[in-house]
């Protein structure tokens, strides 16, 4: 019996992974070959999907991208023994893209069967929880603090400090909330964890619950992620059936229950306070802070709300020690970041590496430049609210503070590449439009400003009172940045102003054209 692995990750599915699996199963049966196909998460090499792996004496050998039509040829070439074939990439672990990575959060993603408890445990699930239970609650928080792990949702707030605040709050009830409402364009790491290693997330939540004294957790996911929700739900159900949650050793301690909730498509519900409102069954609208959720969060109770990646990294930190995690990284950005490369890039996918690579290394060396083969013109880092970086800034190290120093952000780790055909004035307008579409409508700068922003850019592009309107755009961006209630309005100026600053010609070109036209008799 030969074991094969085909991702059930939604990116692989979109590229025909289910069809490949079906054809492979039928072909093997026809040929009388004894195979077992394990559906895994994705290794993150999106350009190779669907990536079939086969277990051999030399480890897992990969073939990709495989289409259904390739199956007969692959079998003829000795797929089951790792035979040579144009699609063969050799042992997956040895692939240069994989070797360059330090996969901690994603160590198991694409490797394990996410809905096999035995497979997960065999690959180390619950080691972190065991370690936490061994340590005790306060030392667990201390370890997370010492590891330097920061919130991976975008804000980069030290996780340990958040936990400590909630742990010290006095209340009859506390909650752990996982923010799985991954709405940034060009990001997919949360989804990949939920599809590839959901138990890491559950384990992380159990550790957090133990650390702060919560007995109830919520995962707030999104309706756009049906596959992730299904896989996560299956893993959660499996765990709940197998052992009462607070799994494993938690049996003899406080029980811990997790409930999954699915958002209805609002980007702003990924903002933590709007998420809490939504969880409470209210309109997804941002709350003012203070009070911090760690003091008064879900249903008014102290709540730790962390991103999927933050929680899914916690087990590794506990299992391998805070020092091991803190040893990696750059400046105050410790550990690794699952970078998500997307857009017009040759090698899109998930690349986990310690902080400190330069943006240029990420885009050109790892990403291989553009998919179109044209020169890279701009890179948007940190989602739709992140700044556009020109190649001139490619020496910026991937690090929260270094990016902030250049008016950019790491955010949730998304990087979207554009070639030289991009119109940056249109991108700036898109940022305003995105803000307008996703605004909850509570605060004035975001509610009205995002609409006015589009109108002002339209006027600039149309060459109407360009100088005045450029000043107005700048003033508006300052009002949005400093006046908005939450990061949606607060960060919309980043893509807009970075486009203005680094690509002024895109705002002038059209304008100059129009002005010339107007000047004609």
Partner 1 sequence: MTFVREADYGTPASKAEARVTLEIDGREVTVPAGTSIMRAARESGVNVPKLCATDMLEAFGSCRLCLVEIEGRDGTPASCTTPVAPGMKVRTQTPLLHDLRRGVMELYISDHPLDCLTCPTNGDCELQDMAGAVGLREVRYGYTGENHLEEPKDESNPYFTFDGSKCIVCSRCVRACEEVQGTFALTIEGRGFDSKVKASAADPFFESECVSCGACVQACPTATLSEKSLIEIGTPEHSVVTTCAYCGVGCAFRAEMRGEQVVRRIPHKDGKANRGHSCVKGRFAWGYATHRERVLKPMIRAKASDPWQEVSWDEAIQHAASEIRLIQAKYGKAAVGGVTSSRCTNEETYLVQKLVRAGFGVNNVDTCARVCHSPTGYGLKTTFGTSAGTQDFDSVEHTDVMIVIGANPTDAHPVFASRMKKRLRQGAKLIVIDPRRIDLVKTPHIEAAHHLPLRPGTNVAVLTALAHVVVTEGLADEAFIRERCDWDGFQAWAAFVAEERWSPEALESATGVPAAEVRAAARLYATGGNGAIYYGLGVTEHSQGATAVMAIANLAMATGNIGRPGVGVNPLRGQNNVQGACDMGSFPHELSGYRHISDDNARAIFESLWNVKLDDEPGLRIPNMLDAAIDGSFKGIYIQGEDILQSDPNTKHVAEGLSAMECVIVHDLFLNETANYATVFLPGSTFLEKNGTFTNAERRIQRVRRVMSPLNGYEDWEITQLLSNALGYPMRYTHASQIMDEIYESAPTHRLPYSPTALRKENASRLWPKETQPHG
- Give the interface with partner 1 as residue ranges (CB under 8 A): 266, 268, 283, 285, 288-290, 436-452, 455-456, 468-469, 472, 475-476, 478-479, 482-485
CA distance 323 to 142: 12
Compute the least distance from the CB of residue 175 to partner 1, in Å: 17
Compute the least distance from the CB of residue 496 to partner 1, in Å: 15
Compute the least distance from the CB of residue 484 to partner 1, in Å: 7
Compute the least distance from the CB of residue 450 to partner 1, in Å: 7
Q: How many CA atoms lie within 13 A of 127 on its CB side?
A: 13
Compute the least distance from the CB of residue 155 to partner 1, in Å: 13
Compute the least distance from the CB of residue 486 to partner 1, in Å: 10
Q: How many CA atoms lie within 13 A of 22 on its CB side?
A: 7
By C-beta, is 215 or 458 nearer to partner 1? 458
Cβ-based neighbour number of residue 134 at 10 Å: 11
CA distance 58 to 81: 10
By C-beta, is 55 or 464 nearer to partner 1? 464
By C-beta, is 162 or 502 nearer to partner 1? 162
Compute the least distance from the CB of residue 26 to partner 1, in Å: 48
CA distance 15 to 67: 8
DSSP annotation of 387: P
Compute the least distance from the CB of residue 302 to partner 1, in Å: 16
By C-beta, is 168 or 455 nearer to partner 1? 455
- Name residue, tokens 């850019």: 457
By C-beta, is 323 or 475 nearer to partner 1? 475
Compute the least distance from the CB of residue 468 to partner 1, in Å: 7
Torsion sign (Cα): 135, 138, 143, 149: positive
By C-beta, is 227 or 447 nearer to partner 1? 447
As to burial, measured by CB atoms within 10 angstroms (0-12 exposed, 13-18 middle, 19+ buried), residue 334 is buried
By C-beta, is 91 or 483 nearer to partner 1? 483
Compute the least distance from the CB of residue 490 to partner 1, in Å: 9
In three-state secondary structure terms, 427 is helix
281: left (phi over 0), alpha (psi -120 to 50) or beta: left
By C-beta, is 339 or 432 nearer to partner 1? 432
Write out the E strands in 142-252. Answer: 175-179, 216-222
480 and 489 Cβ atoms separated by less than 8 Å: yes
Nearest to 309 by CA among 163, 401, 198: 198
91 and 61 Cβ atoms separated by less than 8 Å: yes
CA distance 181 to 438: 14
By C-beta, is 61 or 488 nearer to partner 1? 488
510 and 487 Cβ atoms separated by less than 8 Å: no
By C-beta, is 365 or 455 nearer to partner 1? 455
The DSSP bridge pattern shows strands 414-419 and 336-343 to be parallel
By C-beta, is 350 or 476 nearer to partner 1? 476
The angle subtended at Cα 53 by Cα 344 and Cα 231, nearest 5°, is 75
Torsion sign (Cα): 119, 121, 126, 131: negative
Compute the least distance from the CB of residue 293 to partner 1, in Å: 14
The angle subtended at Cα 311 by Cα 217 and Cα 40, nearest 5°, is 100
Report H helices in 243-393: 272-279, 308-320, 322-326, 359-360
């Amino acid at each position: 019996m030969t074991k094969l692995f085909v991702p059930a990750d939604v990116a692989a599915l979109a590229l025909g992974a289910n069809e490949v699996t079906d054809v492979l199963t039928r072909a093997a049966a026809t040929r009388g070959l004894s195979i077992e196909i394990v559906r895994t998460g994705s290794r993150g090499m999106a350009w190779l999907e669907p990536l079939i792996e086969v277990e051999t004496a030399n480890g897992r050998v990969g073939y990709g991208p495989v289409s259904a039509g390739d199956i007969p040829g692959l079998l003829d070439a000795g797929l089951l023994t790792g035979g040579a074939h144009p699609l063969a990439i050799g042992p997956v672990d040895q692939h240069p893209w994989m070797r360059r990575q330090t996969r901690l959060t994603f160590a198991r993603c694409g490797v394990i069967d996410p809905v096999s408890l035995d497979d997960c445990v065999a690959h180390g699930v619950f080691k972190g929880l065991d370690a936490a239970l061994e340590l005790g609650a306060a030392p667990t928080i201390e370890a997370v603090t010492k590891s330097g792990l920061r919130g991976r949702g975008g804000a980069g707030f030290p996780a340990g400090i958040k936990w400590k605040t909630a742990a010290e709050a006095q209340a009859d009830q506390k909650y752990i909330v996982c923010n799985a409402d991954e709405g940034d364009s060009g990001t997919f790491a949360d989804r990949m964890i939920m599809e590839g290693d959901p138990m890491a997330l559950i384990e992380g939540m159990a550790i957090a619950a133990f650390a702060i004294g919560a007995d109830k957790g919520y995962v707030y996911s999104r309706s756009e992620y049906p596959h992730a929700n299904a896989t996560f739900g299956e893993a959660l159900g499996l765990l709940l059936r197998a052992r009462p949650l607070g799994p494993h050793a938690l049996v003899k301690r406080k029980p811990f229950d997790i409930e999954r909730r699915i958002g209805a498509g609002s980007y702003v519900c990924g903002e933590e306070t709007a998420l809490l409102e939504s969880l409470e069954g209210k309109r997804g609208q941002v709350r003012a802070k203070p009070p911090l959720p760690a003091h008064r969060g879900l249903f008014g109770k102290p709540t730790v709300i962390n991103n999927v990646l933050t929680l899914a990294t916690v087990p590794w930190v506990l299992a391998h020690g805070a020092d091991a995690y803190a040893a990696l990284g750059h400046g105050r950005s410790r550990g690794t970041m699952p970078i998500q490369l997307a857009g017009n890039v040759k090698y899109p996918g998930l690349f986990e590496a310690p902080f400190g690579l330069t943006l240029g290394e990420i885009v050109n060396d790892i990403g291989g430049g553009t998919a179109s083969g044209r020169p890279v013109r701009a890179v948007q880092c940190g989602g739709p609210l992140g700044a556009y970086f020109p190649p001139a800034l490619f020496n910026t190290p991937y690090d929260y503070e270094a990016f902030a120093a250049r008016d950019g952000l790491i955010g949730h780790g998304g990087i979207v590449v554009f070639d030289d055909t991009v119109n940056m004035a249109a991108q700036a307008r898109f940022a305003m439009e995105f803000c307008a579409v996703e605004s909850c409508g509570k605060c004035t700068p975001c509610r009205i400003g995002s609409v006015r922003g589009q109108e002002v850019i339209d006027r600039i592009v149309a060459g109407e009172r360009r100088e005045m309107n450029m000043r107005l755009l700048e003033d508006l961006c300052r009002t949005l940045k400093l006046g908005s209630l939450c990061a949606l309005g607060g960060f919309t100026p980043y893509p807009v102003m970075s486009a203005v600053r680094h690509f002024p010609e895109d705002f002038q070109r059209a304008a100059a054209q129009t002005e010339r036209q107007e000047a004609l008799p």
